[in-house]
A and B are shown apart, each in its own frame.
Chain A
């Protein structure tokens, strides 16, 4: 595609999709946002727990690799 073809395509696109004028939302969006914020505050963070579980498991693996003799002790307390 040469420069002229590119220019022509830009013009065609601008004719097909006119620029959007500035506008306001038709409704107050704050209540919807606040509902989502409050819902998150009430619900436990699943991702947080998953992250914590994996970090704990990773820590145990590293610890066991550094001190293999402690593996029976760890297994005993599991």
Chain B
């Protein structure tokens, strides 16, 4: 870490707003991109990014300047996104009259599109903590270690959450007559 960077981090830790602003402009894109990967909605990602930097500022005294600001910010962003997801209404219930659908994306494109739509809806009904783990590890294909650090849990716990998410998703789809 360079002296200038360390100096900025030290100033931030002591509550210096100019240093905080500098860190915001340095890391806003990374934080916004991370949040967007989780919430998958640009307008919501902007709100969560504001909330994230607000929490970062609020916690400035707890920041350890010898550690990575980006990793710390990512962890705070993940928890802010999780809170946002918990505050949202879950996706609408499973359709009342399920009908059989041929499995994967091959064949009729309309059926494939419907399966994708139903998969996305079923995924939206999962618990937020399972959704985040599966989104980052499966959809975004990020290393489990990186996901674990962001969520503040072990790699084994990430794998377990991903497995539970996929199992519940499969069960939900099967209840709708879709055999993945």
CB-CB < 8 A to A19: which residues of B? 37, 139-141
Tell me the bound Cα distance from A6 to B138 in angstroms: 11
CB-CB < 8 A to B139: which residues of A? 13-14, 17-19
Closest chain A residue, CB of each to CB of B57: A37
A33 contact from B36, B53, B115, Cβ within 8 A: B53
Tell me the bound Cα distance from A35 to B48 in angstroms: 15
**Inter-chain residue pair count (beta carbon < 8 A):** 101
In the complex, the answer to whether B166 meets A10 with C-beta atoms within 8 Å is yes
Question: Interface size (A, Cβ < 8 Å)?
Answer: 30
Give chain A's interface secondary structure class.
helix
A10 contact from B24, B29, B37, B138, Cβ within 8 A: B138
Tell me the bound Cα distance from A22 to B42 in angstroms: 11
A17 contact from B40, B49, B57, B105, Cβ within 8 A: B40
Is the CB of B45 closer than 8 A to any CB of chain A?
A: yes
Taking A25-B32, A29-B50, A33-B50 as contacts, is the C-beta distance between A20 and B166 under 8 angstroms? no
Interface residues of A in 1-58 (CB under 8 A from B): 1, 5-6, 8-20, 22-27, 29-30, 32-34, 36-37, 40
Taking A9-B170, A29-B28 as contacts, is the C-beta distance between A15 and B40 under 8 angstroms? no
Is the CB of B21 closer than 8 A to any CB of chain A?
A: yes
CB distance from A37 to the nearest CB of B (A): 5
Is the CB of B169 closer than 8 A to any CB of chain A?
A: yes
B123 contact from A16, A20, A23, A37, Cβ within 8 A: A16
CB-CB < 8 A to B152: which residues of A? none
A24 contact from B32, B53, B163, B167, Cβ within 8 A: B32
Binding site for B on A (CB under 8 A): 1, 5-6, 8-20, 22-27, 29-30, 32-34, 36-37, 40
